[in-house]
Structure 1
Amino acid sequence: ASPARELRDFVAGLRRDWAAVKAGLTLPYSSGAVEGNVNRIKMIKRIMYGRANPDLLRIRVLHGY
């Protein structure tokens, strides 16, 4: 019943996937570590865009440089 359309859209999205919302709040495990690694790899790719070949990207991702 909010006048803010963005808030109504957000709540509608939560209601559409209520099972996932409930699982995320009640289950003891999470995908936080995986999401953190994905974020780190994307950051490295953004930094290296146009500067190096895929071999160097692979080395940086695997060795954490």
Structure 2
Amino acid sequence: MLTGPPRRPLDAWMAAVDADDPPRLHQFVRGLRRDYDAVRNGLTLPHSSGSVEGNVIK
């Protein structure tokens, strides 16, 4: 999912969760769908705020 083509693995994984019956994963996927653009961008764009977040937590 992190190294494959954008969107397809994430969408396929979310569809597989919908087709199965793990209630906590259903809740997680609902959260991903609420902010889908940000999730997709986080998985596909080369930009990261990781270094900034690391300094904020210190």
TM-score (norm 1): 0.52
Partner of 2:41: 23
Residue 4 of structure 1 and its aligned partner are, at CA, apart by: 3.5
Q: Which has the larger radius of gyration?
A: 1
Count of aligned positions: 40
Query: Aligned to 1:5, which of 1, 23, 44?
Result: 23
Gapped regions of structure 2 (runs ≥ 5): 1-18
Gapped regions of structure 1 (runs ≥ 5): 41-65
- Once superposed, what is the RMSD of the aligned Cα atoms? 1.3
Percent pairwise identity: 60
TM-score (norm 2): 0.58
1:30, 1:10 → 2: CA distance?
A: 22
Q: Which has the higher relative contact order, 1 or 2, with Cα contacts under 8 A spaced 6 or more apart?
A: 2
